[in-house]
Structure 1
């Protein structure tokens, strides 16, 4: 695998290198915390939906009209908010669990032992603070050779230092060196920081869809993005 020179932030020095098995615990921690950070924003997004506001207003009012009890209505609102919070939490928990049971269960096997794939970490002070991975797309469009970017995550304490951008550049350089025509990825409308990062680096939006019925009800799209190399 090609190696990449240390890259420096003006604030904190960091180094991007290939994943090692000894990194696994910290990589899982960075990835898990990064995904679970979207639980509160999912909950807030759901609260702003007209259908949710109608539910939070209509059901308690119906209880008041039927029972005459405002206390019951207040309890109902708290129960509905709790259920919404659990509903916002579960898809992220399920996604993390799925990843940890599949490709991230054995990162060396899933990435480093696969031709044309790799997994990198960003390290500072001897600690892994960021991750990114890439695998070949199995069935790319005719005449294209595509690499998919996965698992980009940076610990909350180390954001704003250019690490996510450097990790993305590492994937782009790897793809260029390996002769790929495109780098593709998926993110969500909820992950605006990631969307802004990718668009700013030259990725173009190619489509969007709802990943499941939950995401449709929550009105959160999965966004498809692509970076094409000029020579392709």
Structure 2
């Protein structure tokens, strides 16, 4: 079955057929909307992560206490807590908004040029009922380790209404098959520790954790946002050559 046009119907969800095909220019607006919404959905999880940090708890307890000691007003203390929570909510959304903005100015600005016109790359969509409900992309790693030919997975996203139907797994399998067909030795990707759904998906599919580092930005360091690097060594690359 071709990964570019694979009719898939998850047995657990017989009423939700979908198929995966290569991106077409007419999909652009739907793809961008789906990608943007999917990324910005991580803000609430980031906010909860922020609230659990020791320094955040110290701030939320310390600042109101200082207000009470200085002004003697509990009302000002409550206002201070509300202000801090609003600021933390704003802070939690910034890395995701920034990420969307950067992507829309780089590879997502022209998907055909960034992926379909580049040898060894690809961009696929999952379609259900004539609607684009999922996306995934891949392109070669520029400077892979010596002796390895690596493909990197990008832009995996599934609409909130169509999750739990196996679409994300099918999209990843499409890229894995593409990587095998193109002779890649590894499929790699990066995701944040905050994206627990994605982390669980990749681990369940056999990806191995091969790196952990702090997001390289001021906000990333403030909110302790760690990035996990995953690698999937392709079986053909592990077999000894005769």
Band the TM-score falls in, shorter-chain normalisation: over 0.9
1:222 matched residue in structure 2 = 227
1:50 is displaced (CA, Å) by: 1.2
1:231 is displaced (CA, Å) by: 2.3
Q: Deviations over 1:65-85 (max 9, x none)?
A: 011111111111111111111
Unaligned runs of 5+ in 1: none
1:163 matched residue in structure 2 = 167
Provide closer, same or farther for how the CA distance between residues 103 and 144 of structure 1 changes in structure 2, counting only shifts above 3 A.
same
State the secondary structure of the residue aligned to 2:136: strand
1:139 matched residue in structure 2 = 143
Distance 1:151 1:13 in 2: 22
2:152 matched residue in structure 1 = 148
1:8 matched residue in structure 2 = 9
Q: Deviations over 1:111-143 (max 9, x none)?
A: 000000000000000000000000000000000
Provide closer, same or farther for how the CA distance between residues 204 and 2 of structure 1 changes in structure 2, counting only shifts above 3 A.
closer
2:117 matched residue in structure 1 = 113
1:90 is displaced (CA, Å) by: 1.0
TM-score, normalisation: structure 1:
0.97
1:187 is displaced (CA, Å) by: 0.3
1:2 is displaced (CA, Å) by: 6.7
State the secondary structure of the residue aligned to 2:189: strand
2:240 matched residue in structure 1 = none
Q: How does 1:1-232 map to 2 (within 5 A)?
A: 3-10=4-11, 11=13, 12-211=16-215, 212-232=217-237
CA RMSD of aligned residues (A): 1.2
Provide closer, same or farther for how the CA distance between residues 59 and 4 of structure 1 changes in structure 2, counting only shifts above 3 A.
same
1:14 is displaced (CA, Å) by: 0.2
1:218 is displaced (CA, Å) by: 1.6
Distance 1:219 1:113 in 2: 37
